[in-house]
Amino acid sequence: MKSRHYSPVDKLLLHLDTGLRTVLGRPQTTERPNPAEDIAEAELTEADKDLAGRLMRINHAGEVAAQGLYEGQSLTARLPEVREKMERAALEENDHLAWCESRLKELGSHKSLLNPLWYGGSLAIGALAGLAGDKWSLGFVNETERQVVRHLDSHLAQLSDKDQKSRAILEQMKEDEGHHATTALHAGGVELPNPVKQLMTLTSKVMTKTAYRI
């Protein structure tokens, strides 16, 4: 296929389109079904339901942020192969986004009101990581995904055992995020310096604490 040449304005519009779709609409997903699709809804206590809603909101906000990061990086990443390698991962993040959203609805909860902020902030961080060079930006993906896996583990520990629907979604996400981390490493990602990792942990703490409430 002949590759098209996009002007900077074209590119900006394309990214804006992706951003709006992520925050407001239906981004493009893969062919995979929702892992919770065939699982029956359990009788959950109000408290379990409330907690599950809050945790799913955090995960949904995290997926919005993941989209921002991938988009930001693709704005500034230098090697086209790197972009291609991470494309499937970015699509899988859209699956996660869709699955979390539908579970949020089932639980009678809502998406984070600050999603546009999570997206915008992550877009900027992703673009910066991309500017630092591909090995760093891939290292950043690897570290992000590893931190997400840890979050998912803690959410799985908090969720009611009865809530098999939420659990199935988080289990599949955990598996995917682990793969994304490995893909980024194999594509040439490097280990990030500790202060950067700590800053990332801090940022994600702020996001998790806020999305738990709004």
Chain residues that interact with Fe ion, rule: CB under 5 A: 63, 93, 96, 145, 177, 180
The four Cα atoms 99, 37, 31, 150 give a dihedral, to 10 degrees, of 40
Taking the complex as a whole, the smallest distance from the CB of residue 63 to Fe ion amounts, in Å, to 5
Q: Which is nearer to Fe ion, 44 or 69 (CB)?
A: 69
Taking the complex as a whole, the smallest distance from the CB of residue 112 to Fe ion amounts, in Å, to 15
Taking the complex as a whole, the smallest distance from the CB of residue 52 to Fe ion amounts, in Å, to 18
Q: Which is nearer to Fe ion, 134 or 177 (CB)?
A: 177
3-state SS string over the chain?
CCCCCCCHHHHHHHHHHHHHHHHHCCCCCCCCCCCCCCCCCCCCCHHHHHHHHHHHHHHHHHHHHHHHHHHHHHHHCCCHHHHHHHHHHHHHHHHHHHHHHHHHHHCCCCCCCCHHHHHHHHHHHHHHHHHCCHHHHHHHHHHHHHHHHHHHHHHHHHCCCCCHHHHHHHHHHHHHHHHHHHHHHHCCCCCCCHHHHHHHHHHHHHHHHHHHHC
Taking the complex as a whole, the smallest distance from the CB of residue 3 to Fe ion amounts, in Å, to 26
Q: Which is nearer to Fe ion, 94 or 159 (CB)?
A: 94
Q: Which is nearer to Fe ion, 63 or 101 (CB)?
A: 63
Taking the complex as a whole, the smallest distance from the CB of residue 87 to Fe ion amounts, in Å, to 12
Q: Which is nearer to Fe ion, 146 or 162 (CB)?
A: 146
